[in-house]
A = this chain, B = another copy of it.
Amino acid sequence: MIDTKQKILDTAERLIGDQGYAATSLRHIIAEAGVNLAAVNYHFGSKEDLLDELILRKAAGVNQERLALLDRLEEEAAGAAIPVGKVLTAFFDPMMEAGSRNPQFVKLMGRMYAEGLLPGVVSKHFQPTLIRFVQALRRSLPTLPEAELFSRLQFMIGAMSHAVCASRTVPAAVIPADGVPDFRQTMRWLVVFLTGGLQAPPTPEVP
């Protein structure tokens, strides 16, 4: 059948989103999809390549939107520095939208993060977009030394990745009684937090 590939993709997306990548065996996927085990390796090469296809068909649209928003900001600024908050909003809004429209996407990215697969996924599918935003932030924060800016971007990526998936790291004792806030709210809070962190004064040198 020609849609064996599609059936594998759809089933894998659902199962990996629900159970995680490592916990979802190819044998489980092919059983639910009603196809043969070897079909996975025939169509995708390996379990990891199957995952790449899953991410790709979700991430492409988000990154396009991000770049379009950044293009518009740079056009409006006409060479001047863009405020940090605006750059960050251009980066987070498309993800927020995608997350609201299709929770499965956020779920999948959260799983990737939780299993330590995000660095690989990021460098494969988000690298060009990241470079553009890094350059924009460099212009927005001209007083910050290069090396410290680089570190702060690392911190930013860490906070962002962690925020995407509802984590159980912070002990239950300190979780507010009104439950976990929704995704859009978390993203708004994240932008404010990151703006504060990125705009902090440069760290004084120690002797």
Interface positions of A (Cβ within 8 A of B): 22, 113-119, 122-123, 127, 130-131, 134-135, 146-148, 150-163, 167-171, 173-176, 178, 181, 186, 188-190, 192-203, 206
- Report A108 CB to chain B, min CB distance, Å: 14
> Could you say which residues of chain B place their CB within 8 Å of the CB of A159?
155-156, 158-159, 162, 197
Closest CB of chain B to A106's CB: distance in Å?
A: 15
Contact A150 B162 (CB under 8 A): no
Chain B residues whose C-beta falls within 8 Å of the C-beta of A178 in the assembled complex: 147
Q: Please name all residues of chain B whose beta carbon is closer than 8 Å to the beta carbon of A203 when the two chains form the complex.
A: 188-189, 192
- Whether the Cβ atoms of B197 and A151 lie closer than 8 Å is no
Number of copies of this chain in the oligomer? 2
A74–B119 CA distance with the chains assembled, in angstroms: 39
* A152-B114 contact given A130-B171, A159-B159, A168-B119, CB 8 Å threshold: no
Contacts of A163 in B (CB 8 A): 151, 154-155, 158
